[in-house]
Amino acid sequence: MFYIGCHLSSSKGFLNMAKEAVKLNANTFQFFTRNPRGGSAKSVDLEDIELFKQFAKENNFGKIVAHAPYTLNPCSADEKTREFALQVMTDDLKRMELIPNNYYNFHPGSHVKQGVDVGIDMIADLLNTVLSEDLTTTVLLETMAGKGTEIGRNFEEIKSIIDKTTLSDKLGVCLDTCHVSDAGYDIVNELDTVLEEFDSIIGLEKLKAVHLNDSKNELGARKDRHEKIGEGFLKIETFKNIINHPKLKNIPFLLETPNDLSGYAKEIALLQSLYEE
Ligand code: FE
Ligand code: FE
Ligand code: ZN
């Protein structure tokens, strides 16, 4: 099954996002759990959630992906920022259990001069606090471009976080195509090699979702500037190879390209035309 969708605004609730997705011919979507710059989440609307679940089932949706706010930084040098991360993730994960068995993706964080090792320990500390045995949500660590002091710029750093997390079976990885290219992984010419490397370091069974973004910058640029599909450094052929890769079957692909809804509809149609049954 080809699960394709895009990032949608969560301001009008779950049922509306799902309906919007169907209009775009999508069968999954991503949304921010709250304002991407932080702040409080909307109050929970249980009726909306029940209607969403029914609608998603009727329309054969794949797993959906919640995205934590960008301001969440579990390895900040500032204790208040780390507390905010703990508080937000605790609350988000509690809410996610109202739509069980989906994904919650976050940027591992920036260590801000404290060093990678300290950063990784702090991220694992947070995960060891918020994860519990009964959680049905899988928490995804996103692969990062490596700008500034971002952690998760290579597979080894992601693996290290997973290894330091006790309930590591609750963790997965979301591979962002713009980010990994910016981080220096050549998915344009060496997709198989990159996936083999992912497999030998982390294990491909941990790869639960892919962010499909072209990049405004060249391999290894460490910039993190998303571009529309086929209009950046990565080119159409790379996306065709990714969505059809035998090792990436049945996982959700989410667009985070600079688009309005009609732009997303076009990219979804384009990718569906490139998908080989
Ligand atoms: Fe992200
Ligand atoms: Fe992303
Ligand atoms: Zn990005």
CB contact set of 33 (below 8 Å; sequence gap of 6+): 10, 41, 66, 67, 68, 69, 88, 92, 95, 96, 104
Q: pTM of the prediction?
A: 0.98
Bridge partner list, 127: none
222-237 pLDDT tens trace: 999 999 999 999 999 9
- Average pLDDT, 10 consecutive residues per value, the chain (277 residues): 97 96 98 85 92 98 97 96 96 97 98 97 98 98 98 98 98 98 98 98 98 98 98 97 97 98 98 95
Q: What distance in Å separates the CA atoms of residue 25 and residue 207, rounded to the nearest whole number?
A: 24
Residue 176 C-alpha to ligand 3 middle, in angstroms? 7
77-89 pLDDT tens trace: 999 999 999 999 9
Residue 107 C-alpha to ligand 3 middle, in angstroms? 9
Q: What distance in Å separates the CA atoms of residue 76 and residue 70, rounded to the nearest whole number?
A: 13
Residue 226 C-alpha to ligand 2 middle, in angstroms? 9
Q: Could you give the number of structural domains in the chain?
A: 1
- Choose among 221, 198, 78: nearest CA to 146: 221
pLDDT of residue 151: 98
pLDDT of residue 38: 72
pLDDT of residue 42: 81
Residue 256 C-alpha to ligand 2 middle, in angstroms? 7
Q: What is the CATH number of the domain that holds 62?
A: 3.20.20.150
Q: Which ligand is nearest the CA of 254, by number? A: 2
End-to-end CA distance of the chain: 8
Residue 67 C-alpha to ligand 1 middle, in angstroms? 7
Look up residue 220 and give its DSSP letter.
Answer: T
State the sign of the Cα–Cα–Cα–Cα dihedral 156, 157, 163, 169. negative
Q: Which domain holds residue 170?
A: 4-274
92-137 pLDDT tens trace: 999 999 999 999 999 999 999 999 999 999 999 999 999 999 999 9
| Protein residues near ligand 2, an ion, with CB under 5 A | 176, 211
Residue 249 C-alpha to ligand 3 middle, in angstroms? 23
Q: What distance in Å separates the CA atoms of residue 1 and residue 47, rounded to the nearest whole number?
A: 29
Residue 181 C-alpha to ligand 2 middle, in angstroms? 12
State the sign of the Cα–Cα–Cα–Cα dihedral 263, 180, 131, 247. positive
Residue 203, by phi and psi: left (phi above 0), alpha (psi -120 to 50) or beta?
left
